[in-house]
Amino acid sequence: MVKTPEYRDLFPGALEMMILQTLSRRPLHGYALAQHIKSISDDLLQIEEGSLYPALQRMLKSGWLKSEMGVSARNRPVRVYKVTPAGRKRLEEERSSFEKMFAGINRVLAMG
């Protein structure tokens, strides 16, 4: 049987947050986005690159991203994903709730 790994090991919304964070700096196409997430997470997240796409579709559907034509690092015309104002707002919310949660976890760990 073929494995169908998902980001189940991450907490909910983590992948979206990473994508939003990455794309908020500059629009990227799928391959570049995958490479970037891989490199900044030090290959901690062993993912299939393809698995990004369902997440991207969900975010497109929610209106956080939009896609438009751009150029790749090799100067090829590619579809790039760009964060919309709604996406930025979402990222802020996510970030603050993530920070709250992270702080909470840190406090619990510090008590030990």
How many Å apart are CA 71 and CA 76, to the nearest integer?
Answer: 5
Contact criterion met (CB below 8 Å) for 17 and 92: no
Give the dihedral of Cα atoms 25, 102, 43, 86; nearest 10 deg.
-30
34 scored as a contact of another protein (CB under 8 A)? yes
Q: Rule CB under 8 A: say whether 54 interacts with another protein.
A: yes
Asked if 32 interacts with another protein (CB under 8 A), we say yes
Binding status of residue 10 toward another protein by CB under 8 A:
no
Exactly one of 9, 48, 92, 99 binds another protein (CB under 8 A); which one?
A: 48
Q: Supply the minimum distance, in Å, between the C-beta of residue 20 and another protein.
A: 17
The verdict on 41 binding another protein (CB under 8 A) reads: no
Whether the CA torsion 52, 4, 62, 97 is positive or negative: it is negative
Which SS3 state, helix, strand or coil, does residue 64 take?
A: coil
* Interacting residue ranges for another protein, rule: CB under 8 A: 2, 4, 29-32, 34, 48-51, 53-54, 56-58, 61, 67, 72-74, 76, 78-79
